[in-house]
């Protein structure tokens, strides 16, 4: 088997492994392996093939890391409306109790059940509020 065929088969194996893991970094390694296959096809020596493969794979991985696809942006699930359908919904609070330190607490009916409600940023007045975060069984709200 020719050298370029072995590099290509190895690149194919790495692509298959990427399908199982779901990481783009293995695709960048596969790009480097394909560059090694091209170097072998152009009759470069074995050391030159390895250097080309490692350089192309490394540069591709670094470029991926610097791109928007290389970093994972984790959102706080307690504040993410894509994770929790209650974020952004409104509820009615009739009475607030001062908890100290600028926090106000209440009990309010929401979705057919009584919930603990907490307001952190302003004085609590009866009225409509919007849910901005959920901490366990407590709704953190802001004025609507």
Determine, yes or no, domain membership for 106: yes
Same domain, 62 and 99: no
pLDDT in tens, 53-111: 999 999 999 999 998 877 767 777 777 787 888 888 999 998 898 888 878 899 999 98
Determine, yes or no, domain membership for 12: yes
Range of the domain at 62: 3-66
Positive/negative CA dihedral, 26, 31, 36, 38: positive
Same domain, 8 and 54: yes
Confidence tier at 44 by pLDDT (50, 70, 90): very high
What percent of the chain is modeled with pLDDT above 70?
Answer: 99
Determine, yes or no, domain membership for 10: yes
CA distances from 17 to 24, 74, 91 (A): 11, 25, 49
What is the reported pTM? 0.54
Taking 90 as the threshold, does the pLDDT of residue 14 lie above it?
yes
- Number of folded domains that form the chain: 2
């Amino acid at each position: 088997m020719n050298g370029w065929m072995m590099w290509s088969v190895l690149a194919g194996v790495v692509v298959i492994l990427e399908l199982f893991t779901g990481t783009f970094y293995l695709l960048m390694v596969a790009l480097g392996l394909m560059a090694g296959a091209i170097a072998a096809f152009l009759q470069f020596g074995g050391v030159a093939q390895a250097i080309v493969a490692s350089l192309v794979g490394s540069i591709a991985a670094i470029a991926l890391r610097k791109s928007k696809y290389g970093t994972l942006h984790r959102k706080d699930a307690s504040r993410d409306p894509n994770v929790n359908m209650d974020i952004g919904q409104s509820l009615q609070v009739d009475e607030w109790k001062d908890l100290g330190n600028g926090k106000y607490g209440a009990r309010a009916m929401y979705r057919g059940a009584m919930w603990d409600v907490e307001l952190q940023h302003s004085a609590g007045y009866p009225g409509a509020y919007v849910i901005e975060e959920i901490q366990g069984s407590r709704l953190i709200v802001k004025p609507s």
